[in-house]
Amino acid sequence: MKTKTTLILLLFLSFNLIGNSQTIWDGPSVTITKADFSDWNLEENQDRITPTVWLTRQDEQGQFNIAQESGYVSGSPVDTEWGWGTTADIGSITFYNWRDATRNNNPYGNHENITEGPMVLHLITDDIYIDLQYNYWTSQGGGGFSYTRSSDPGLAINDFEVAKVKVYPIPSKGNIFIANLMQNQNIIVYDMLGKNIFERAFEINSPIDISSLDNGIYFLKTENNLTIRFIKN
């Protein structure tokens, strides 16, 4: 009887440990954007959430985890599952793979209506739950998408911004874009000598025309004092 009681207690403790191991990320929101027909192999077109989950998309079809798979298949992105709602309702959410969540079990229709409601992304191995809202989704070819998600609350805002904000494409002849800058703000472009070349208001997802610049290396500075190098050719 004593042995049986001890076994039940151990099982109870084990289940509690498993249940308490989940983590909900409620840190600063970050917006991830991939433009149509952009190279999914480049870091600026991937959402590198953890060392084993890097979300992106090819020119068509759904999202996949390029850290663990070479392209989209019906169960992509591997090591993730998706549900409709927010982390506040996590106990009542049913999770599916991305395809089943956005198509067969989408309360708003199918993947073309993916922007209609909030979702929760579950990183299975790490047992992390993330609030996520799609902003747009290109459904007729191009592979573009954008979403805003919660981040690791243990990551300082400045560290998070430095890690995520990128200028692309590099090099560029015409327009450059700033990926993952979380708000509209003024930017300044300097040359290698520190000369102020131009200042302008930047809007999220808008191109910056550098076609009039001479070929060379430049630096873009944001209001948050992030300085990012780019090349005009």
**Inside any domain, residue 14:** no
pLDDT, one tens digit per residue, over 9-37 is: 444 444 443 344 689 999 888 888 898 99
The whole domain housing 118 covers 23-156
Which of 96, 123, 156 is the C-terminal boundary of a domain? Answer: 156
Is 176 found in the same domain as 74? no
Alpha-carbon distance 61 to 99, whole Å?
10
Residues 105 and 214 in one domain: no
pTM reported for the whole predicted model: 0.64
Please tell me whether residues 42 and 128 are part of one structural domain: yes
Domain count, the chain: 2
> H or E segment at 49?
strand 47-50
Q: 150-199: per-residue pLDDT in tens?
A: 988 876 555 555 556 788 888 899 999 888 777 888 999 998 778 899 99
Q: Which of 88, 156, 78, 93 is nearest to 123 (CA)?
A: 78
Q: Which one, of 153, 149, 229, 225, lies nearest residue 191 by Cα?
A: 229
60 within 8 A of 141, measured Cβ to Cβ: yes
Question: Is the domain of 202 the same as that of 112?
Answer: no
Domain containing residue 224: CATH number: 2.60.40.10
pLDDT-derived band at 224 (thresholds 50, 70, 90) equals confident
Residue 9 lies in a domain: no
My answer on whether 99 and 208 are in the same domain is no
Report pLDDT digits (tens) over 89-101.
999 999 999 999 9
Is 54 in the same domain as 112?
A: yes
